[in-house]
Amino acid sequence: MLLAVREFGRPDALINNSCVMDDMSHIGEIINKKTERVFRFNTFVPVYAMGSAVKVFLEQGGGNVINVASAGATHTRAGAIYCGSKAAIAPVSKKTAFMHTSRASAEALLLPAE
């Protein structure tokens, strides 16, 4: 985020749309290396990016974060590891929104996609 500020000036938004799929393995066949890769890209990268962005947004007086969790966050349309990694983003997004916006605004922004 700091590189973006130096290069482009004031950032107005961060869009986290990372997606690494698992291989649809049965939960009993999960391999640590695969699990770590999926969570690193789908959960940890967006969380760290959001942390950096929020610091900049607070300093400059505003900004927006859009985290794409996908239907995998609430449904069983993908593998267990993918679903878990995407589901982890939802509460982080909600907590951040509630801490930095009014409750009514945060609720309006956090409606699940149909």
Question: How far apart are alpha carbons 80 and 93 in whole angstroms?
Answer: 21
Task: Give backbone dihedrals phi and psi of 13, rounded to 5 degrees, phi first.
Answer: -155, 155
Of the candidates 1, 50, 67, 82, the residue annotated as catalytic is 82
Q: Which two tokens stand for residue 90?
A: 């939802």
What DSSP line would sit under 61-97, residue for residue? Answer: T--EEEE---GGGTSSSS-HHHHHHHHTHHHHHHHHH
- List all residues 6 or more positions away from 88 whose beta carbon is below 8 Å from its beta carbon: 39, 42, 43
82 is catalytic: yes
What gap in Å lies between CA 50 and CA 97, rounded to an integer? 11
Q: Which residues are catalytic?
A: 82
